[in-house]
Amino acid sequence: MGVHYGSNRAAAEETVATIEAAGGTVFALGVELGLPGDAGALWAAFDQHAEGLDILVNNAGIGTSKSFSEIGEAEYDRLFAVNAKAPFFLTQLGVDRLRDGGRVINVSTGLTHAAVMPELIAYSMTKGALDVFTGNLSKLLGARGITVNTVAPGIVDTDVNADWLRASDEAWAGAAAMSALGRVGTPADIADVVAFLASDNGRWVTGQWLDATGGSPA
Ligand SMILES: NC(=O)c1ccc[n+]([C@@H]2O[C@H](COP(=O)([O-])OP(=O)(O)OC[C@H]3O[C@@H](n4cnc5c(N)ncnc54)[C@H](OP(=O)(O)O)[C@@H]3O)[C@@H](O)[C@H]2O)c1
């Protein structure tokens, strides 16, 4: 198994150690996405460790705090480069390494189906592109038995949200209240949906957008 990271090698090594402790064989790959040639560089690094793969999870992504009126071209371009262009070319260049019957799982956001955080307009647009990618790619790869799906999280307690989500009890309560289940999502809530799609149980699901928001507004 390959664990990809951009800048946080320590976190990747922690994940590697967890997988190894559970009996898995795993390696870490550090490649920055959002730069020209990023996908080719990642696969070149991958090929040093393995010959092919069963499952590709396009999870890496960035957000922005810049609103509609504030965001400039450079940040807009970087958002699209990391969130939309990188998964496109990672998949295009990786598809011959993916075994028949394999999986592509793209991590999007509930915000592509609900305009409840309009301040995140540019970010949501990048994920909208990813959603369109999922549907079309499922048709292109279906003949090989490869399923392609999107998992769409709501608010999850991860590093990207740490600054505001954990800043006050009010922020935490407001985020929890967005979910019908009344709590903030955890990484495991999302990982379990990804694991379902990756497993044999998910074999008859393709081209879908799976809501993993805990019932946030739609
Ligand atoms: N958290 C939420 O509330 C939420 C909600 C909806 C959707 N999502 C989506 O869920 C996915 C995971 O996000 P997260 O919440 O886990 O955020 P996170 O804690 O900030 O993690 C982002 C991940 O993407 C990698 N990454 C970011 N920019 C990269 C780059 N330029 N090159 C290579 N890798 C890069 C990071 O690697 P390094 O740390 O090594 O740089 C990290 O593994 C993202 O696609 C995000 O849009 C999150």
> Residue 88 CA to chain centroid, in angstroms?
12
pLDDT at 101: 98
Compute CA distances 159 → 37, 80, 135, 153, whole Å: 27, 20, 29, 14
Q: What is the mean pLDDT of the chain?
A: 97
User: Given pLDDT bands bounded at 50, 70 and 90, which one contains residue 65?
Assistant: confident
The Å distance, Cα 6 to ligand 1 centre, comes to 9
Classify each residue of 95-123 as buried b or exposed e, where b means 16 or more C-beta atoms within 10 Å of its C-beta.
beebeeebbbbbbbbbbbbbeeeeebebb
**Domains in the chain: boundaries:** 52-212
Full-prediction pTM beyond 0.85? yes
Average pLDDT over residues 25-53: 97
7 lines ligand 1 (CB under 6 A): yes
The Å distance, Cα 63 to ligand 1 centre, comes to 8
Per-residue pLDDT tens digits for 77-121: 999 999 999 999 999 999 999 999 999 999 999 999 999 999 999
Average pLDDT over residues 188-193: 98
155 lines ligand 1 (CB under 6 A): yes
Query: Has 123 been annotated as catalytic?
Result: yes
Q: Which atom of ligand 1 is nearest to the CA of 185?
A: 3
Superfamily of domain 52-212: NAD(P)-binding Rossmann-like Domain (3.40.50.720)
| Closest Cα to atom 45 of ligand 1 | 61
Give the three-state DSSP class for 6.
coil
109 lines ligand 1 (CB under 6 A): yes
pLDDT at 217: 83
| Closest Cα to atom 23 of ligand 1 | 60
Which of 7, 193, 194 is the best mutation target for the ligand 1 pocket, counting ligand atoms within 8 Å of the beta carbon and taking the most?
7
The Å distance, Cα 158 to ligand 1 centre, comes to 8
